[in-house]
Amino acid sequence: MRVLDAELLDFRGRLIEGESLDGARFSEYRFTELEPTDSTMLVDGFQALSMAFERHVAEFNAAPDAEKYAAVVGGCEACHMRSCPGPLERIAKRHLPDGQ
Ligand code: HEC
C-alpha cells in the first residue's frame, strides 16, 4: 500500500502544479487477495469497500482528473475508517487543497 500512497503523492503534486495527468495510473490491487497481518481487519463490508475502491481506481485510470483523484482518496479513507485507522492521518494529507 506504500506504492499507492506514493502514487497519490505524485498525482496530487501534478494536479496542484497544473501538470497533465496523461499516463497517470494507480497500480491495481486486489485487496481481497491481500493477507492482512491481523485477520480482525477483515471487517464486515471489507469486500464491498475494496470493490468500491477498485472501481474508483479503474475510473481514474481510464480518464484521470481531480474529481476522480478525490474519489480515490475517499475510497482509501472509507476502508481505513473501518479496518485500520492508523494511516488515516497520513491519508488526510492526500486531499487536494480547497478549490482544486
Ligand atoms: C479495502 C480496504 C482498504 C483500502 C481501499 C485501502 N486500504 Fe490501506 N490498508 C488496509 C488494511 C487492511 C491495511 C493493513 C494491512 C496489513 O496490516 O497487512 C492497510 C494498510 C495501509 C498502510 C500501512 C501499511 C503499509 O503498507 O504502508 C497505509 C500507509 C495505507 N494502508 C494507505 C492506504 C492508501 C493511501 C489507500 C488509498 C490509495 C489505501 N490504504 C486504501 C485496507 C485498505
Secondary structure (DSSP) of 64-85: --HHHHHHHHHHHHHHHHHH--
Q: Is residue 25 part of a domain?
A: no
* pLDDT over 70, % of the chain: 85
* pLDDT over 90, % of the chain: 67
Cβ–ligand 1 contact at 91 (below 6 Å): yes
Q: Is residue 26 part of a domain?
A: no
Q: Is residue 78 part of a domain?
A: yes
Q: Is residue 99 part of a domain?
A: no
Q: Is residue 44 part of a domain?
A: yes
Q: Is residue 29 part of a domain?
A: no
pLDDT at 38: 60
What's the total number of domains in the chain? 1
Cβ–ligand 1 contact at 64 (below 6 Å): no
Q: Tell me the per-residue pLDDT of 22-60, one tens digit each, with 9 for 90 and over.
A: 999 999 887 766 666 666 656 668 888 888 999 999 999
Cβ–ligand 1 contact at 75 (below 6 Å): yes
User: Which residue lies with its CA nearest to atom 36 of ligand 1?
Assistant: 76
Q: Which domain holds residue 69?
A: 2-20+40-92
Quote the pTM value.
0.91
Instruction: Please provide residue 27's backbone torsions phi and psi, each rounded to the nearest 5 degrees.
Output: -60, 140
* Cα–Cα distance measured from residue 50 to residue 80, given in angstroms and rounded to the nearest whole number: 11
